[in-house]
Amino acid sequence: MVSATITGLGIALPPSSAQDELWDGFFADHYAGPTRALAQRIFANSGVRTRQAVVSPLLEDVSGWPTERRMQRYLVEALPLGKEAVDRALTDAGLSAAEVGLFAVCSCTGYVTPGLDILLARDMGMAPDTQRLFVGHMGCYAALPGLGTVSDFVTARGRPALLLCNELTSLHVQPAAARVDTQQIVAHALFSDAAAAVVVVPGAASGYAVREVAAVTDTSTADHMTWDVTDLGFRMGLSPRVPQVLSQHVAGLVDAMLARHGLVRSDVDGWAVHPGGPRILNVVERELALPASALAASRSTLATYGNCSSPTVLLILDALRRRPDPPRRVLTLAFGPGLTLYAALLEGAVAR
């Protein structure tokens, strides 16, 4: 069987700001009374040092904007950011846009029609017969089912595919609530903007081969993580019980997938774990009995870029492959609404 291999990866980031600067310049005034002290502690303990935004709250307060205005701005900002990530991924892979057989786009932070898939395919010079797929509202784990879909296409059709994850969470800052809303404070402290694209091709001699993508969903906890469309943008629901649910499923998902390939945890030398927050990483580290160094790239990504939703695991993969001695086997993990856990096993040599 022809393998599907990641041969190109491109990242695009809007301007960044320090977490302390965001607190002092906007969020300290966004919250009042006893909420302010709680929010300050959450911001300080978020594990985030810097993060980026297409619409910085230091320059524009979007918290009172209606959803229509936010969606109009989404298109203005998402197109150039996505184009930059796609161009970098294609250049990295040595591939032209006209050679792409399937173009898949993941985004849960904005909706427009014609969509990013159509508009970017036009602007990048993709062929008229390029197949397209838009994946919306899957949240932070969307990169992995997206990667599984484009990999299946590559294996079945023998043609290259391209995946873009493009999230603009800065468009969804919510108005300050009259009551304490810890979930919104956590979302405001963690989330960030980014675009990341990967090129997957058949039978490449170098890169990371996609060996398997697997998932488990605990529908009994579907209310633990939500992303609701409101008149004032999209509103995050994030239960503090999420880490507990992950602790019940992560080891079983990982061990079963590795066993299907005759592997155990110690055979994995690269871990790309979505940093939903410090507690999430602590739970994964504990349940998989990993050394502290195993999640260094995930913690560093959270600190430097924040939680960028679906592009985040691709940012971590990019950091791993750029190491002087890049890992041979990478296991990626991401989590989101459902409550859903996704994993992907990548294996191979990194092209130089």
- Cite the active site residues: 140
Distance from C-alpha of 77 to C-alpha of 119, rounded to nearest angstrom: 13
Query: Are 192 and 53 a contacting pair, CB within 8 Å?
Result: yes
Cβ neighbours of 233 (radius 10 Å): 24
Please name which of 269, 158, 261 lies closest in space to residue 212, comparing C-alpha atoms. 261
Backbone angles phi, psi at 198, to 5 degrees: -130, 140
Distance from C-alpha of 131 to C-alpha of 129, rounded to nearest angstrom: 6
Distance from C-alpha of 344 to C-alpha of 201, rounded to nearest angstrom: 17
HSE toward the beta carbon, residue 328, CA cutoff 13 A: 3
What residues have CB less than 8 Å from 191, skipping those under 6 apart?
51, 169, 170, 236, 306, 307, 308, 309
Query: Are 155 and 4 a contacting pair, CB within 8 Å?
Result: yes
Concatenate the DSSP letters of all residues of 173-190 into one string. PPPPPSS--HHHHHHHHH
For tokens 């969903």, name the residue: 217
Q: Exposed, middle or buried by CB within 10 Å (0-12, 13-18, 19+), for 326? A: middle
Query: Are 132 and 138 a contacting pair, CB within 8 Å?
Result: no
